[in-house]
Amino acid sequence: MFVRLSAAIAALCLLGTPIFAQGAKPTGPQIAHIAYTAGTIDINAAKQAIKKSKNKAVVAFAKDMVRDHEAVNKQALALVQKLKVTPEDNDTSRALVKQASDKQAELAKLKGAAYDKAYAANEVAYHKAVIGALESQLIPAASNAELKNLLQTGVKIFQGHLEHAEHVAAELK
């Protein structure tokens, strides 16, 4: 199957180019915002899947995504409050949101098995892209040990979801 480069990858690729160019690293408040946004995007995609899909495995996966990312985002909010950090909106977060809403509009037009396949493929691509961004950009830029720690746990969660998404995608073929 020909898988198009997802909007999410395209968005996250921006992390490596103009946004943090000239050696500018995202700040703690920006990292917190980007990580939180990445979770929210997956929750919204999953909510769409729960509404649209009739496939048991797809719906179960989507429910897992909502539950996990809500739990992690709650933990992230508790941490930023403890650290007295106010998450700061930034170009990367805005680009992510824009790309995700475009993708959601694209997926909204699909139905049945075509939708299920496209959602699963996008989940695989999106989780890969977030793992890449966390490992190459966000974790190295995080100076607070607790924030770094949460992002590192985030990588393991996204890796778990990626494997899960790959199983779901493989079942749909």
Partner 1 sequence: MLPGLKSLAVLGLALGVTGSIPAHAETIRVKIDKLVFEPANVAAKVGDTIEWMNGDVLAHTATVKGGWDVMIPPRKSASFVLKKAGDVEYYCRFHPNMKGRIAIAPK
Does 128 contact partner 1 by CB under 8 A?
A: no
Closest distance to partner 1 from the beta carbon of 11 (Å): 24
Assess contact for 88 and 33: CB atoms under 8 A.
Answer: yes
Closest distance to partner 1 from the beta carbon of 88 (Å): 24
Assess contact for 28 and 85: CB atoms under 8 A.
Answer: yes
Give the separation between CA 77 and CA 113, rounded to whole angstroms. Answer: 36
Residue 40 or 159: the one with the smaller Cβ distance to partner 1 is 159
Tokens of 19: 């946004």
Assess contact for 11 and 24: CB atoms under 8 A.
Answer: no
Residues 6+ apart with CB under 8 A from 35: 76, 134, 138, 150, 151, 154
Give the footprint of partner 1 on residues 50-69 (CB under 8 A).
64, 67-68
Does 71 contact partner 1 by CB under 8 A?
A: yes
Which one of the spans 26-34, 35-43, 48-56, 159-167 is the region binding partner 1 (CB under 8 A)?
Answer: 159-167
Closest distance to partner 1 from the beta carbon of 44 (Å): 19
Binding-site ranges for partner 1 (CB under 8 A) = 64, 67-68, 71-72, 74-75, 152-153, 156-157, 159-161, 163-164, 167
